[in-house]
Amino acid sequence: MTDSPPGDEWAKAAACAGVRITELSEPGGFEDVFRLFDGIWRPAPGNPPVTVELMRALSHAGNYVAGAYEEDRLVGASVAFFAAPPGQVLHSHVTGAVSGRGVGFALKLHQRAWALARGLDRITWTYDPLVRRNAHFNLTKLGARPEEYLPSFYGTMNDAINAGDESDRVLAVWHLSQPHVLTAIRQRPRPPRVPPEAVVALADRDDRPVPGRTDARTVLVAVPSDIEALRRTDPAAAGAWRRAVRDTLGELMRQGAQVTGFTDQGHYIVERTG
């Protein structure tokens, strides 16, 4: 284990979550991460999110592998590597933590401090646009913004969370020093601005997607309240949501529209720029 990066935000968040965050560099720490991720994602044999050997190689090459410990028990971890353009970007490949404790937030702030200490100005990662809590966390808690829609990005994924669904993702970009990011990470949230003339391009009605209009400057795109539960209880509805969000949000982003926020009601706020 190595010393943690300087910075107040991550240290305060770690203290609030009751964890100690540190970089990992020894096989025992990587094995802890492997077991934690195995418990979170429950992947098929031979298909882990990241292997012990890869974490060892990434860490040895100077990339980011960190864990959050509650006393001696690992409760969160994150793995990231340098990306293009060189000297500017860190790509966060996987982050997992026990839910509802603020551990994930503390880990992301630690990752941010680590990146800033190395002269980087942004961190990227992918996430499933249908998972409402992740959209809220990424856009509202952190201030990241989706900048690219990636259909079937990982192909078939054989784990307990994603099984039976296509692996569409959006690329989130976290510009580490932008004013709205600083406001978010200091936990001074501002309600997202939704102009009165905004229209609903995709609505949620009884766990079903209902298409609407897309012919306004600002449009709202809903996602289901719990896509993971829907995959188990109603796979057809989950599939309908995947196709509807791809056709609506994906097409808007392909045309150059920008996602500027996420509402408490579970809508992406999408602004046309032209």
CA distance 223 to 160: 20
Sign of the torsion angle spanned by Cα atoms 65, 69, 73, 78: negative
> 3-state DSSP call for residue 200?
strand
Residue 6 has a pLDDT of 59
Residue 243 has a pLDDT of 97
CA distance 269 to 120: 28
Spell out the domain ranges in the chain: 8-185, 199-271
Residue 238 has, within 13 A of its CA and on its CB side, a CA count of 20
Averaged pLDDT, 205-218? 96
CA distance 149 to 248: 11
Q: Supply the pTM of this predicted model.
A: 0.93
pLDDT at 1 over 80: no
Classify domain 8-185 by CATH architecture: 3-Layer(aba) Sandwich (3.40)
CA distance 137 to 29: 26
CB 151 within 8 A of CB 171: no
Tens-digit pLDDT profile for residues 161-187: 665 678 999 999 999 999 999 999 998
